[in-house]
């Protein structure tokens, strides 16, 4: 796994001479309450209202590329307010207005020239609301947390924007309802704020309040917005009902009553955002619909572990930083993984297929569990105490089983309740933050076929973050505790699951106990670091006890792990010679299991260079001394792998151009020639006109692994763990096209043909997976003792004429094509019409010797599964 941190611990005390100069003194702007008619938001600025306040701004300074230098172009602004709204005007001067880049994109695309305002209305020095105005009229908005370390672009407030280009540059005019902000109920308020401008053709970012790019934070260094008097926090009320019509077309299967070739339906639901008080917001979703969500990328999992997929559903991704509790930053382990809610039903129904054509029984089940409702409650008070609560219920799911016309229902997922709670307290203006989190999963298990699931699962976590010396240094500590309960079958399965494999014969610290009805585990991290200056670093230790279990509502890949790491980066963020910026990093890491067996040790070196012609070059290499897996033999003994070298580089052209590209090849070579991998990723971006963007990203990977797990054979002599040489090819081409008819009307296409093929040869049985010599760890299965019958290998291991064990032929050839075509029209702010066409078709992928066109190609003979959706929403706002 990827690790991050500095090589020498003494760097904790490294001299402050390595820091850049501190930021400028705090600037301010004094606003006024609007008198008379409000300005018309038309991007013209000819309203008398704007004469009530002076222009602020000017003397912006560069953040990038030449930190601290005067901005190349001037930026001015005005701010007004009344009881309900904040009004903002920007004059973005440009000596060559004909060269202003007015590229369009979907919301939060941040293309072309733009200007933004960040508002710390809590004045807590840690959080802010960001509103970005693109010259093309496209909006961007983000919720900023953790003092600028987290920018959540899934926050979509309602606000109003118009822009125009004139002989002096361009104008942006905004109206932001105060209901979209959070602030204290005080007679007079002081808010933190920052104005930031992106001057596209120079790739220059400049700030009103200069903050060095190497500063230890963002929000706490903002300028001050003064003069706000007599306004009251607004109680937000937004109700968003929806109606969806859906039609499906797919291949008809003769005799299968569930595969008739078509289906259709209508669904309704509602989302709401309700301000309970000025500090508390309730998000509510009843029967949420996610039909417009982009499909997951296709994957084939040959490992023993779970795959992690990003959350794509709007209800769960907006504000997800509030309910986030990662154990460490360099992997996906987290107390809350929202994709557990509404997951694919976990029980698979085995049919009684007695006919010659295996067509006697048919099963119909859902792809996802129905979310009956979900509620999020979030808030933060003036004393710096913030909290987030989530409660969700998913319906019991039953599969329909048809046997010669007779129907019955079988439970595949029980009624489940999910709860997540997160609290944090800011101390000393956010220099210290303490917090905690709890989660609970409760299932009503009424079917014995689901006894292998936990009926309850709870986790709790506490965290502590402290900064000192102007937030230059920090210490971060987290601890987590898990508890799962259920039947003896459920807890036995948990002990034998791929995350822990207690049954390993060489596991000296844990054994399977079939009498247990609960299991508890711990995990945590302790980290020290420096985050400001030219030289930054962090060093840490993390552990995951063997008993830890998070996967009922969180994500956990593997337990039984202790890790230490050291990461260091030296950065030069101002132009030097031919470079705009340079970064160099060094990593050292080491892993042990709870037997304190060293299961991994490695080093990594990386460099990232940006040139003054706006090209980028990155390169890196890593060296692993060895690797030991406690999971690859699926419950068998641990297996030791030789070390390996990995090296890669990336070259990217100027992204300002209408046509840009980057290429990233990677090579990995194992010692003893045990493995070899070559991957090439390419990304092409083409913007023929400002409203149309095409991205094509092909990728191909060739892998050879002499020790790929195949099967576990059971014979009278015990278990035989079979591995083989796998030659695998993986190819995909991701295509995205976005056409912006207007800033509020877009047509977007996503498509990805994916293919992978794998051929297994040179079958081996593991005889001593931990032997010091590589060739002593296995013995080849006798070639003359292996016969194939109906894609099943029969192995006579001792050549006595009797089959000792069998396993299925593992070769695979998989092709899949997934695509989405989405028209999105925001006909009034917050109210949207979606027209969606989603398609999936399966087939094969060919990989063979010969020319490139002969060697690799996709074949999709199956009829596509098409889904057509029309979704209409209307947002009622008070």
User: Could you tell me the CA-to-CA distances from 807 to 88, 316, 759 in Å, in that order?
Assistant: 69, 42, 15
Cα(333)–Cα(319) distance, integer angstroms: 19
- Kindly state whether residues 329 and 388 are assigned to the same domain: yes
Strand 406-413: give its sheet, edge to edge: 361-364, 397-403, 406-413
- Kindly state whether residues 541 and 453 are assigned to the same domain: yes
- Kindly state whether residues 178 and 317 are assigned to the same domain: no
- Kindly state whether residues 198 and 104 are assigned to the same domain: yes
User: Is residue 324 a part of any domain in this protein?
Assistant: yes
- Kindly state whether residues 443 and 554 are assigned to the same domain: yes
Run of H or E residues at 495: helix 488-496
In the three-class reduction of DSSP (H, G, I as helix; E, B as strand; rest coil), residue 490 is classed as helix
- Kindly state whether residues 58 and 188 are assigned to the same domain: yes
In the three-class reduction of DSSP (H, G, I as helix; E, B as strand; rest coil), residue 852 is classed as helix
- Kindly state whether residues 219 and 311 are assigned to the same domain: no
Q: What is the mean pLDDT of residues 458-476?
A: 96
Torsion angle, alpha carbons of 37, 42, 45, 51, to 10:
10
For 390-407, the pLDDT digits (tens) are 999 999 999 999 888 888
| Residues 559, 594 contacting (CB under 8 angstroms) | no
CATH number reported for the structural domain that contains residue 119 in this entry: 2.60.40.1190
Q: What is the CA radius of gyration of the chain?
A: 29
User: Is residue 825 a part of any domain in this protein?
Assistant: no
How many of the other CB atoms lie within 10 Å of CB of 31? 22
Pairing of β 237-249 and β 876-877: antiparallel
pLDDT at 6 (0 to 100):
41
Q: What is the mean pLDDT of residues 349-376?
A: 76
- How many domains, in total, are found in the chain? 2
| Boundary residue ending a domain (523, 542, 566) | 566
Q: For tokens 């039947």, what's the residue?
A: 487
Question: Domain range spanning residue 216?
Answer: 31-229
In this predicted structure, the answer to whether residue 843 has a pLDDT above a threshold of 80 is: yes
For 179-228, the pLDDT digits (tens) are 889 888 889 999 999 999 999 999 999 999 999 999 989 999 999 999 99
pLDDT at 355 (0 to 100):
41
pLDDT at 849 (0 to 100):
52
- Kindly state whether residues 435 and 545 are assigned to the same domain: yes
- Kindly state whether residues 369 and 495 are assigned to the same domain: yes
Cα(644)–Cα(722) distance, integer angstroms: 23
Q: What is the mean pLDDT of residues 702-714?
A: 95
Q: What is the mean pLDDT of residues 116-130?
A: 94
Question: Where is average pLDDT lowest: 273-277, 545-549, 731-735, 768-772?
Answer: 273-277
> What is the pTM assigned to this prediction?
0.87
**Strands, E assignment, 211-329:** 223-229, 237-249, 262-275, 280-286
User: Is residue 127 a part of any domain in this protein?
Assistant: yes
Question: Where is average pLDDT lowest: 63-67, 239-243, 306-310, 746-750?
Answer: 306-310
Chain mean pLDDT for the chain: 90
The phi, psi pair for 450, rounded to 5°, reads -115, 15
| Residues 639, 504 contacting (CB under 8 angstroms) | no
> Which of 166-170, 294-298, 408-412, 716-720 is most confident?
166-170
User: Is residue 297 a part of any domain in this protein?
Assistant: no
pLDDT at 282 (0 to 100):
85
More confident of the two residues 273 and 753: 753
User: Could you tell me the CA-to-CA distances from 72 to 21, 95, 119, 208, 309 in Å, in that order?
Assistant: 21, 10, 24, 13, 42
Q: What is the mean pLDDT of residues 446-468?
A: 96
User: Is residue 334 a part of any domain in this protein?
Assistant: yes
- Kindly state whether residues 507 and 439 are assigned to the same domain: yes
User: Is residue 150 a part of any domain in this protein?
Assistant: yes
Residues 6+ apart with CB under 8 A from 116: 130, 131, 132, 133, 140, 195, 196, 197
| Boundary residue ending a domain (566, 593, 618) | 566
User: Is residue 454 a part of any domain in this protein?
Assistant: yes
User: Is residue 689 a part of any domain in this protein?
Assistant: no
- Kindly state whether residues 170 and 316 are assigned to the same domain: no
- Kindly state whether residues 212 and 342 are assigned to the same domain: no
Closest by CA to 156, choosing from 284, 41, 325, 273, is: 273
Residues 6+ apart with CB under 8 A from 289: 242, 244, 267, 269, 871
| Boundary residue ending a domain (545, 566, 587) | 566
In this predicted structure, the answer to whether residue 479 has a pLDDT above a threshold of 50 is: yes
In this predicted structure, the answer to whether residue 9 has a pLDDT above a threshold of 80 is: no
């Amino acid at each position: 796994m990827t690790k991050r941190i500095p090589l020498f611990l003494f760097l904790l005390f490294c001299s402050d001479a390595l820091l850049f100069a501190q930021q400028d003194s705090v600037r301010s702007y004094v606003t006024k309450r609007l008198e008379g008619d409000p300005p018309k938001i038309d991007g013209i600025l000819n309203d008398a209202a704007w004469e009530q306040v002076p222009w602020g701004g000017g003397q912006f300074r560069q953040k990038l590329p030449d930190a601290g230098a005067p901005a190349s172009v001037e930026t001015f602004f005005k701010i007004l307010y009344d009881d309900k709204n904040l009004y903002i005007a920007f004059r973005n001067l440009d000596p060559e207005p004909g060269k202003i880049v007015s590229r369009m994109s979907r919301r939060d695309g941040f293309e072309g020239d733009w200007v933004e305002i960040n508002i710390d209305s809590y004045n807590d020095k840690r959080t802010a609301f960001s509103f970005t105005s693109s010259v093309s009229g496209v909006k961007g908005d983000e919720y900023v947390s953790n003092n600028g370390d987290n920018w959540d672009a899934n926050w979509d407030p309602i606000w109003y924007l118009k822009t125009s280009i004139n002989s002096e540059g361009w104008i942006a005019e905004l109206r932001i309802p105060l209901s979209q902000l959070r602030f204290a109920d005080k007679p007079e308020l002081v808010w933190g704020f920052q104005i930031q401008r992106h001057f596209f053709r120079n790739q220059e970012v400049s700030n009103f309040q200069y903050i060095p790019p190497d500063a230890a934070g963002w929000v706490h260094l903002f300028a001050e917005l003064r003069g706000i008097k007599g306004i009251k926090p607004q109680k937000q009320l937004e109700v968003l009902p929806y109606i969806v019509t859906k039609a499906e077309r797919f291949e008809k299967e003769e005799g299968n009553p569930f595969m008739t070739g078509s289906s259709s339906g209508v669904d309704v639901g509602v989302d709401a955002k309700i301000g309970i008080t000025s500090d508390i917001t309730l998000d509510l979703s009843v029967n949420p619909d996610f039909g417009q969500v982009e499909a997951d990328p296709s994957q084939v999992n040959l490992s023993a572990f779970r795959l992690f997929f990003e959350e794509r559903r709007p209800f769960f991704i907006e504000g997800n930083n509030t309910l986030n509790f990662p154990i460490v930053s360099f992997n996906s382990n987290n107390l809350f993984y929202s994709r557990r809610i509404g997951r694919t039903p976990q029980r698979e129904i085995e049919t009684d297929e007695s006919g010659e054509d295996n067509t006697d029984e048919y099963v119909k089940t859902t792809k996802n569990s129905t979310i009956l409702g979900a509620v999020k409650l979030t808030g933060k008070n003036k004393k710096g105490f913030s909290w987030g609560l989530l409660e969700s219920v998913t319906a019991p799911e039953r599969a329909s089983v048809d046997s010669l016309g007779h129907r019955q229902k079988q439970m595949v997922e029980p009624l489940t309740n999910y709860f997540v709670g997160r609290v944090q307290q800011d101390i000393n203006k956010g220099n210290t933050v303490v917090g905690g989190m709890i989660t609970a999963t409760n299932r009503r298990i009424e079917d014995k076929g689901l006894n292998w699931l936990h009926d309850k699962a709870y986790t709790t976590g506490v965290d502590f973050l402290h900064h000192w010396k102007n937030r230059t240094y920090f210490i971060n500590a987290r601890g987590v505790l898990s508890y799962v309960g259920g039947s003896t079958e459920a807890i036995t399965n948990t002990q034998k699951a791929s995350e822990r494999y207690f049954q390993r014969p060489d596991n000296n610290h844990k054994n399977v106990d079939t009498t247990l009805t609960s299991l508890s585990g711990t995990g945590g991290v302790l980290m020290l670091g420096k985050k400001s200056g030219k030289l930054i670093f962090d060093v840490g230790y993390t552990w995951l006890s063997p008993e830890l279990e998070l996967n009922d509502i969180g994500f956990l890949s593997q337990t039984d792990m202790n890790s230490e790491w050291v990461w260091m980066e030296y950065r030069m963020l101002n132009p030097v010679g031919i470079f705009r910026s340079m970064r160099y990093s060094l990593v050292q890491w080491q892993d042990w299991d709870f037997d304190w067996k060293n299961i991994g040790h490695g080093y990594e070196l990386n460099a990232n260079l940006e040139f003054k012609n706006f090209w980028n070059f990155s390169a890196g290499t890593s060296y692993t001394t060895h690797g030991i897996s406690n999971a690859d033999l699926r419950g068998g003994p641990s297996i030791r792998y030789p070390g390996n070298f990995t090296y890669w580089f990336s070259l990217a052209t100027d992204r300002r151009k209408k046509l840009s590209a980057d290429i990233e090849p990677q090579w990995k070579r194992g010692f003893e020639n045990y493995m070899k991998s070559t991957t090439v990723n390419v990304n092409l971006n083409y913007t023929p006109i400002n409203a149309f963007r095409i991205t094509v990203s092909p990728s191909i990977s060739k892998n050879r692994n002499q020790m790929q797990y195949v099967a576990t054979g059971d014979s009278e002599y015990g278990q035989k763990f079979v591995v083989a040489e796998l030659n695998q090819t993986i190819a995909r081409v991701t295509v995205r096209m976005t056409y912006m008819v207007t800033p509020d009307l877009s047509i977007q296409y996503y498509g990805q043909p994916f293919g992978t093929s794998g051929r297994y040869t040179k079958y081996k049985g593991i005889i001593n997976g931990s032997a010091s010599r590589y060739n002593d760890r296995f013995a080849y299965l006798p070639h003359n003792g292996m016969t194939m019958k109906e894609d099943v290998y029969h192995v006579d291991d001792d050549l006595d004429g009797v089959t000792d064990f069998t396993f299925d032929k593992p070769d695979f050839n998989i092709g899949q094509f997934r695509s989405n075509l989405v028209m999105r029209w925001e006909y009034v702010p917050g109210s949207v019409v979606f027209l969606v066409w989603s398609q999936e078709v399966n087939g094969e992928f060919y990989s063979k010797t010969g020319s490139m066109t002969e060697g690799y190609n996709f074949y999709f003979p199956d009829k596509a599964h098409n889904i057509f959706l029309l979704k209409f929403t209307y947002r009622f706002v008070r």
